[in-house]
Structure 1
Amino acid sequence: MSPAIVSSPIAPPTHQSTPPPTHPDRLYVNRSTKAFASGAISLIDLPAGSLFAKITGTTPGAKAYTSVQTGRDTHIELNSDLVYCNHSCAPSLVFDMSRMEVRVVDDKPLHKGDALTFFYPSTEWEMDQPFQCICGSEECRGWISGAKTMEPAVLEEYWLNPHIAGLLNERK
């Protein structure tokens, strides 16, 4: 007779692990249990127009609420804490997908404690999940569905990625 093999069940994890930060010297992720309520906060001061971070470690992706459009028909997943940079109609950052870098907007410096935000239509022609903006800025544009549905005069107030500018020119 062979000895009985006793197996003990593996206990399920009692907490969900959080991946290590990807930009611990640059940003803090303010995590929320509410849907779409997490956000990124600057840990540093930088002058207007300066480089905040290079965009690295990405993977090709499909159009999704987590992806960023990089060209006419291409999207990437950021795979970093940069994904927590939310939309604002008065953004603190520019996501330059042609240079694969994130810069401070040209018209104001970034301060420690500032929310890290960018203007989604600067990268997105047509959003996967349009939404009612609640940024609270004087410039708030309301319904955000991508550059495709916005007036050119409004978009001229923002820095736009070359693929968005090209699509706007085609629309004319």
Structure 2
Amino acid sequence: MSPIAVQPSTATASTTTATILPTSIVTPPTHPDILRVDRGAKAFSSSAVSLVSLPAGSLFAKITTATPSKKAYTSVQTGANSHIELNSDLVYCNHSCNPSLNFDMGKMEVRVVDDRDLKVGDQLTFFYPSSEWDMDQPFQCNCGSGEGVCKGLIDGAKKMDRKDLEAYWLNDHIKELLQQRDSS
């Protein structure tokens, strides 16, 4: 929800009125050389777009401004019981079942996926279950990757079939949690 500003207006002796004007908070971009944030009008509709072309597997960004967090819709899971807030424009990298990036939480870096290059104008996305075991806020995927690729309900790796996850790069903590789940 956008913040509002209250601007006084002229008042008569018996009434006082105010005009409410929408304002926007402008925060400086954290990665202006590599990504642009496209802010959507609706909740959860903003996105990150690449400003660079990089070969498959390349380092896109280091995660340097993270702070510990509890599980939240904006946090990224870093271990079986740990989460961080990115505190950067990387938070606008949305989910896709056909991602352009991998968020490697062990190395605290974001890399281009191994199977294709990143181009200027590409949406910056990652496969949320690659880091999230049990999502704080599950959602119906709208990635548009097509039948057989799009996984539908995104609720973390915990509730996904191992076979569906095998096509994706996964963080070590997700691999370990899957091993524990499947050996029980």
When residues 144 and 14 of structure 1 are mapped into structure 2, their CA distance, relative to the original with a 3 A threshold, is: closer
2:92 alignment partner, one of 84, 96, 112: 84
Distance (Å, rounded) in 1 between the aligned partners of 2:124 and 2:79: 23
Partner of 1:49: 57
Structure 2 unmatched runs, 5+: 1-6, 9-19
> Percent identity between the aligned chains?
66
1:170 and 1:38, CA in 2 relative to 1: closer, same or farther beyond 3 A?
A: same
**For the residues of structure 1 that align with 2:21 and 2:65, how far apart are their CA atoms?**
28
Query: CA distance change for structure 1 residues 113 and 168 in 2, over 3 Å: closer, same or farther?
Result: same
Residue matched to 1:148:
158
SS at match of 1:171: helix
- What is the Cα-based RMSD across aligned positions, in Å? 1.6
Q: Matched residues in 2 for 1:13 and 1:122: separation?
A: 41
Return the alpha-carbon distance in structure 1 between the equivalents of residues 172 and 102 of structure 2: 13
Give, in angstroms, the shift of residue 13 of structure 1: 8.4
**1:14 CA drift (Å):** 6.0
1:127 partner SS:
coil
- Correspondence list, 1:1-172, <5 A: 15-138=23-146, 139-172=149-182
Which has the higher relative contact order, 1 or 2, with Cα contacts under 8 A spaced 6 or more apart?
1
Unaligned runs of 5+ in 1: 1-9
Q: 1:137 corresponds to which letter in structure 2?
A: S
AA paired with 1:86?
N
Q: Distance in 2 between matches of 1:44 and 1:100?
A: 20
> Structure 1 length as normaliser, TM-score?
0.92
